[in-house]
Amino acid sequence: MGGNSPCASCKLLRRRCAKDCIFAPYFPSDDPHKFAIVHKVFGASNVSKTLQELPLQQRADAVSSLVYEANARIRDPVYGCVGAISYLQNQVSQLQMQLAVAQAEIVCIQMQQDPIMVAANPQMVLGQADDDDQAFLLQNQCFNFANNNSSSSAYVNIHESLKRESIFGDIVS
């Protein structure tokens, strides 16, 4: 390897690529697009300042995350990564609800199987405070659940949710 070829950053910025170029390790010349998008969103100067403030061993991860964010912002100029974050937060909420429903069903089934035991020890099935009100509420929930039980529709098919597109797919508007 004779003369050093300029890194993607220095090529784009049309400058000489010094031996200690801060961008060179992370923006090789064979991937010009990577630096182009980071430069478009953040600006070379800001990226350089960010990297300079980080220890060497963290810079590669920082560059990866900057590229990720820049990509997200280019695909969705209004929301960028925030679109993906919103989507994921919704997913977490939905899953927590589904889990709560499923756990309530377990309790109901246990109540049907051994109502005396469950009524006497609600904390054993709920894992919560052994309140009399808790047992009462639980019983009511189970009645409602039994009456409205279309149990397959009570749960969103978890495999359907896993088959959703990647984050990039979802933030493409």
Partner 1 sequence: MSSGRCAACRYLRRRCTQDCILSPYFPSNNPQRFASVHRIYGASNVTKLLQRLPTHLRSEAADSLYFEAQCRLEDPVYGCVGLIFLLQQQIHSAESQLIKTQAEIAVMKSQTQHPQTQPFRAISGSNNLLLQQSDNDANLIFSNQVSSGFI
Q: Which residues bind partner 1 (CB under 8 A)?
A: 34, 40-43, 45-46, 50, 53-54, 58, 61-62, 64-69, 71, 73, 77-85, 88-89, 91-92, 95-96, 98-99, 102-103, 105-106, 109-110, 112-113, 155, 158-159, 161-163, 166-168
Helix (H) or strand (E) holding 173: none
| Beta carbon of residue 110, minimum distance to partner 1 (angstroms, whole number) | 7
| Beta carbon of residue 152, minimum distance to partner 1 (angstroms, whole number) | 11
Cβ-based neighbours of 62, under 8 Å, separated by 6 or more: 50, 51, 54
Query: Please, which residue, 41 or 138, has the CB nearer to partner 1?
Result: 41
Taking the C-alpha atoms of residue 128 and residue 107, their distance in angstroms, rounded to an integer, is 12
> CB burial class (10 A; 0-12, 13-18, 19+) of residue 69?
middle
CA 163 to centroid of chain Cα atoms: 15
Query: Please, which residue, 19 or 163, has the CB nearer to partner 1?
Result: 163
| Beta carbon of residue 60, minimum distance to partner 1 (angstroms, whole number) | 10
Query: Please, which residue, 132 or 153, has the CB nearer to partner 1?
Result: 153
CA 129 to centroid of chain Cα atoms: 32
| Beta carbon of residue 109, minimum distance to partner 1 (angstroms, whole number) | 5
CA 95 to centroid of chain Cα atoms: 13
